[in-house]
Structure 1
Amino acid sequence: MTDLGLSRPAGARGGLCPRLLTLAGGPAIALRLAAVAALCVALALATPNFLTETNILNVLRQAALLFLVGSGLTLVLIGGGIDLSVGANLGLSACLAALTLKATDSLVLTLLVGLATGTVIGLANGLAVAVMRIPPFIATYGMLWVLLGITYRVMAGESVHGFPPRFRFLGSGHFLGIPVPAYLMFVFLAVGGLFLARTRWGQEVYAMGANPEAARLSGIPVRSRQILTYTLSGAMAGLAALVFLARVNSAEGDIGEAMTLPAITAVLIGGTSLFGGVGTVTGTFIGALILTLVINGMNLLSVHSNWQPLVAGVIVILAVLVDSLTNRRRT
């Protein structure tokens, strides 16, 4: 019978790497949930505006966008790679989708263009890393600049805005009082968790990140899995581009530039290791919530926006430091 990738791998029972499932659950989810609760209590005491319905829904909407970008990036990091181009990918995907919508007024074609652009860029990253053997940092950093150049060239300094309500519903609409992006977040949280925990492909990604040479010798198609993770990361960036575009109702050349650092930050806060082999999309979901709450709290407390990149940078350094110390203990 053909293996469709839905069975649990032999490695989960002591084959390639007996600790794979342990590593997959490595992030201290309970501790991070406690941090979310502590942040909520602190902000509720600090400002009466935090617990308003409008603010809570805004936090959900912002965390959803961050999660959509970060979930694909999580797969790449678990597999031992890095994708620095997700923000630029989002930007180009959003701009091409915006131009398509203005030119054709076709919602279906717009969605296809946004998703296809992100997916193709992810595939190109995967091929550069897996086939051309370019180090992931260099390949995706170079892709970042290529995409920025294309985006600025395509937009030519102009902006596209004023999209129809049927498209804007994707980013700013509500269903049963809950923002539509939140539904997308929970759907892909379930899909991503199922992929990593219950499919052979997901477990092979863990194995590849934990020890790529051992994974190759055990018969895992490492190059194919690398291409898969980068392609999925690109596809999620394309989806996030559509959500972001529908939310802000405008597209210009720099639309995605500010997304890369927050996405990486959310993934690292969630416990995904820069060294590969460890992480969950659940952790990324919680990391997105924590980062969103921190930024939301600074806004509510009238902390100047210039401080926000500094805070995000400090959080990244602390997350990497914890990851490095944890990795040393494992080895």
Structure 2
Amino acid sequence: MTAPTQSQQRPGAGQFFSAIPGAGILLILMLALFTIANPRFVSQTNLVNVGLQASLLLMIALPMTLIILTEGLDLSAGALLGLSGVIVAEALLAGWSVFAACAMAFAISTAFGALNGVLIAYLTLPAFVVTLGTMGLMQGIALVMTNGDPVGGFTPAIETFYRSQLWIFPMPIVVAVALYAALWLLLYRTRLGNYVIAIGGNKDALRLAGIRANLVHLAVYVLGSAIVGLSAVLLIGRTNSAHPTVGIGMEFEAIAAVVLGGTSFEKGQGWLFGAVLGALAITVLRNGLNILSVDSSLQVVCIGILLILALLIDRARKHYSR
């Protein structure tokens, strides 16, 4: 898939629009088609709903972008999302404060990120196999903790936070925008960000330059899991309950959003804003299909078709730009 090179990551206005991946083109088309099919799609209530849905997906897709930039993958993100939510809910039911419960989920998710990072960066095990294994481990722990049942009845403080606003903006959207800004600064304005991109490009060259490449690689997985753990707070705030399997499948949509946005699995090529376009494209597709009463199982098929179409558009743009 065509994606901006490292020299194009901060393009000018003209270059920016020429660098928009297939997801951007499909997003515009879907907005037009769904509006024509049902004018209710562009109502204020529905657009806010799209923003709320996209914010959670974006919070998984943004750290996934950093992981994919290192030529890695994290299939355990969805399972970790569910486990972290269960940990917060169970801690609250046990009488812990909201801060202590969230801190516990953060610590455990960070520990799982460190486990993934050590196995992948230091022991050079395949990221696909490692995160597939930890996905099963996390999902199993969550099911044992809850017997497969949802956990509810805890303090409404998290739901209140989820439904609060900063001026006129819903809090989940504010949190997602703040996370994007923080990761943008990290990736494009710090040496660590340069090292992350370099790992995907040539990890051995980075190591020969005297950089502790394995430690940077480990840090990417730790950061990604920590963000997923904190994102679980927003997920349980949406329904004021936690379910052990609620996050299963989120990793697929997050990876799809990153790839849709133009980030490649090879050579550290990609850009952070692409994850925003990809997350919006998937959310708009799901929301529009819901309004048109399309079955949820068919929506997954449509996401796959959307991904293939974006790849074909990017290939065509690459061909005609030569």
Structure 1 length normalisation: TM-score?
Answer: 0.86
Note the alpha carbon deviations across 1:104-161, whole angstroms, 9 max, x for none: 1511112212222222211111011112221111111111111111111111233211
State the match for 1:213 in structure 2. Answer: 204
2:265 counterpart of 1:274? yes
- Partner Cα distance (1:210, 1:201) in 2: 14
Shift of 1:314: 2.7
**Structure 1's 48 and 321: CA in aligned 2 closer, same or farther, altered over 3 A?**
closer
State the match for 2:6 in structure 1. Answer: 20
Deviates further, 104-113 or 88-97? 104-113
State the match for 2:74 in structure 1. Answer: 83
**Structure 1's 220 and 197: CA in aligned 2 closer, same or farther, altered over 3 A?**
same
Note the alpha carbon deviations across 1:305-327, whole angstroms, 9 max, x for none: 12011112233445567789999
Query: Does the 8 A contact of 1:151 with 1:253 survive in 2?
Result: yes
- Partner Cα distance (1:307, 1:49) in 2: 21
Shift of 1:170: 3.3
State the match for 1:233 in structure 2. Answer: 224
Query: Does the 8 A contact of 1:78 with 1:206 survive in 2?
Result: yes
Note the alpha carbon deviations across 1:279-316, whole angstroms, 9 max, x for none: 22211011111110011010011111120111122334
Code of the residue aligned with 1:29 in structure 2: it is I
State the match for 2:275 in structure 1. Answer: 284
Query: Does the 8 A contact of 1:87 with 1:256 survive in 2?
Result: yes
Shift of 1:179: 1.5
Shift of 1:225: 1.2
Query: Does the 8 A contact of 2:70 with 2:268 survive in 1?
Result: yes
Code of the residue aligned with 1:235 in structure 2: it is A
- Partner Cα distance (1:34, 1:112) in 2: 40
- Partner Cα distance (2:318, 2:60) in 1: 25
Shift of 1:68: 0.3
Query: Does the 8 A contact of 2:22 with 2:310 survive in 1?
Result: no
Shift of 1:36: 3.0
- Partner Cα distance (2:208, 2:216) in 1: 14
Tell me which of 138, 141, 148 is aligned to 2:129: 138
Query: Does the 8 A contact of 2:22 with 2:313 survive in 1?
Result: no
2:114 counterpart of 1:128? no
Shift of 1:213: 2.0
State the match for 2:192 in structure 1. Answer: 201
State the match for 2:30 in structure 1. Answer: 39
State the match for 2:233 in structure 1. Answer: 242
Code of the residue aligned with 1:234 in structure 2: it is S
Query: Does the 8 A contact of 1:269 with 1:316 survive in 2?
Result: yes
Give the alignment of 1:30-69 within 5 angstroms: 32-69=23-60
Unaligned regions of 5+ residues in structure 2, if any? none
Name the SS for the 1:145 alignment partner.
Answer: helix
Shift of 1:172: 3.1
Shift of 1:66: 0.2
Shift of 1:59: 0.4
Code of the residue aligned with 1:253 in structure 2: it is P
Tell me which of 288, 293, 296 is aligned to 2:284: 293
State the match for 1:315 in structure 2. Answer: 306
Query: Does the 8 A contact of 2:64 with 2:255 survive in 1?
Result: yes
Shift of 1:177: 3.1
State the match for 1:175 in structure 2. Answer: 166
Code of the residue aligned with 1:167 in structure 2: it is I
**Structure 1's 129 and 30: CA in aligned 2 closer, same or farther, altered over 3 A?**
closer
* Equivalences, count: 311
- Partner Cα distance (1:217, 1:318) in 2: 40
Note the alpha carbon deviations across 1:252-290, whole angstroms, 9 max, x for none: 221211211111111111111112411222110111111
- Partner Cα distance (1:273, 1:24) in 2: 17
- Partner Cα distance (1:217, 1:236) in 2: 30
Code of the residue aligned with 1:42 in structure 2: it is L
- Partner Cα distance (1:130, 1:44) in 2: 46
Query: Does the 8 A contact of 1:205 with 1:225 survive in 2?
Result: yes
- Partner Cα distance (2:67, 2:212) in 1: 15
Tell me which of 81, 86, 109 is aligned to 1:95: 86
Shift of 1:60: 0.4
- Partner Cα distance (2:164, 2:104) in 1: 21
**Structure 1's 144 and 42: CA in aligned 2 closer, same or farther, altered over 3 A?**
same
Shift of 1:23: 6.2
2:95 counterpart of 1:104? yes
Structure 2 length normalisation: TM-score?
Answer: 0.89
